Amino acid sequence: MRRLAASVAAFAVPAAGLVALAGPAQAAASATATYTKVSDWGSGFEGRWTVKNTGTTTLTGWTVEWDFPSGTRVNSAWDATVTNSAEHWTAKNLGWNGTLAPGASVTFGFNGSGSGAPAGCKLNGAPCDGGPSQPGDNPPSAPGTPAAGTVTETSAALSWAPATDDKGVKDYDVYRGSAKVATVSGTSYTDTGLTKGTAYTYSVTARDTAGQTGPSSGTLTVTTPGGTTPDPGEKVKLGYFTNWGVYGRNYHVKNLVTSGTAAKITHINYAFGNVQGGKCTIGDAYADYDKAYSADQSVDGKADTWDQPLRGNFNQLRKLKAQYPHIKVLWSFGGWTWSGGFGQAAANPAAFAQSCYDLVEDPRWADVFDGIDLDWEYPNACGLTCDTSGPGAFTNMMKAMKAKFGQNNLVTAAITADASDGGKIDSADYGGAAQYTDFYNVMTYDFFGAWAAKGPTAPHSPLTSYAGIPQAGFNSADAIAKLKAKGVPGSKLNLGIGFYGRGWTGVTQDAPGGTATGPAQGTYEQGIEDYKVLKSSCPATGTVAGTAYAKCGSNWWSYDTPATIAGKMAWAKQQGLRGAFYWEFSGDTANGELASAVHSGLK
């Protein structure tokens, strides 16, 4: 909350209320008024005016006038009486601060809304820059919004585009929140002595050779790494970002911004790193940290250079976190294709944990990641390959990971949702491992699909069981119930949502349970298609077990919609779950409607 003063201004006063202020208190060619935007928190800002007597005689009263563009206004003020007539604003001294001896100054401030800057400033009827004594000497422009360089647990490197001034810029004042922390002559500064896991907001103002300060830059918020364990009361809203999405899918970190999704998530799982030779290894070096981004592709509109130390998705994620410091990024290792290496890794969990820590905390990108996610498909069971490490292997791995990464990093895992008797949940000690895990992402999707080419058709992500379901225990409710029964608290479980559908072709029956001739054609592979395509190409015709299905021609698809996601989020809250996650961002629409549904449903 912003501070309130003893004297709170009137605002939105009709024009008739300004009669008493019609005349200036005193002609003042030897006084100046300068404006600074002290801070900006998105929905509002704090502005500050400083009136200075630059003459040789006492100033016995002051009135500052300025114009704001439509949509920008003063909401409350202190140390002055502020009134307005439409977009024209007037501030008059109070009884105790109107007299200024030569060289003295007084400051008044206000909380406002809108993005405009003041124009046409007058002090006691004369130009605010001192009038005839300083002809044409305008204050400097606003510097560029600061950009973050290297951010450590205790420091933040800042840089900004220079301000302009008709007489020349002398130096810059750097503000952390409303406190000035430095005055520098260049366009960069490194703030030190910070606290890990803490958000800091920075802005910069320029000063010209006459000592006039201009308007404030925009604000940048950065969060120092460390101390990342989320508030237990905060709902997790996590999405997977795939490194291969930058190729054929043409999906980049910037899409999280343009879609509006970045403001509606708490975590990103970056997928995938590989598991080879008992170690965590790079998944795709080019996409991860080498791909050069042009200005139009980049999160901050700045192109990569050939010699910068970090490029690719990692650098784009760094830029995203600078703009959205609430987001935690975890590096996810394994997945369906790369889980075959977990068995060897689990044979020496301490060495495996050390290798993962060394890679995640590599100095080139340590600030990008807030922890690690392990996606082992599946411990002591079969996925693409079969594992026989034993029921305790997963617990031993998670224990070693937590011991190495510590309490200031997140350690999470994606786990099976197979709740059938003797199924994959029964194959590993997920209850015992939970004590070393910040949360589990329960993969409550892909229960059914066209790998059973002849059908029966069934929703791939049923929330509950239903009459005719092909396999008992293959639904979200049974999976969550079994995990809770094994000792995993609901506060460590996230419900999984697929941003895609699974489908068959050669289907004649509209309702689930029909026969098929094979998988339906998808954009990238048979039997699977993004929601953003299905929404228009095969709109939902019915719902079953809390999810949607659609029959169009001879194709039959099942997928989640904003409406079914809303129902699943309500159920997740009723069950006391930690939140939800989804696979994966690129399946959503350009305006992020599925991510919005998750966000809205968990409020």
Question: What does the DSSP 8-state code read for residue 377?
Answer: S
Residues 6+ apart with CB under 8 A from 485: none
Q: What is the torsional sign of CA 473, 478, 481, 483?
A: positive
CA distance readout (Å), 543 to 528, 558, 562, 602: 19, 9, 13, 21
Longest dimension (CA), the chain: 96
Give the H or E element holding residue 426: helix 424-427
Residue 34 to residues 18, 102, 273, Cα–Cα distance (Å): 23, 17, 53
How many Å separate Cα 189 from the centre of its chain?
A: 25
- The burial class, CB within 10 Å (0-12 / 13-18 / 19+), for 308 is exposed
Task: Please state whether 268 falls in left (phi above 0), alpha (psi between -120 and 50) or beta.
Answer: beta
Name the residue among 502, 496, 489, 477 with its Cα closest to residue 431. Answer: 489
Residue 38 token pair = 């002290």
Annotated catalytic residues are 377
Quickly list DSSP for 471-540: STT-SHHHHHHHHHHTT--GGGEEEEEESEEEEEES---SSTT---SEEPP-SSBTTEEEHHHHHHHS--
Whether 28 and 124 have beta carbons less than 8 Å apart is answered as: yes
Is the distance from CB of 168 to CB of 139 less than 8 angstroms?
no
Give the CA distances from residue 178 to residues 40, 219, 246, in Å, rounded to whole numbers and listed in that order.
10, 11, 40
Cβ(249)–Cβ(586) below 8 Å: yes
How far apart, in whole angstroms, are the C-alpha atoms of residue 568 and residue 326?
24
**Which H/E stretch holds residue 78?**
strand 73-78
Question: In the numeric block, which tokens belong to residue 1?
Answer: 């909350």
Token readout for 591 is: 């305006």
Half-sphere CA count of 436, side-chain side, radius 13 A: 21
8-state DSSP, 189: E
The count of other CB atoms within 10 Å of the CB of residue 230 is 18
CA dist 314 and 320 (Å) reads 10
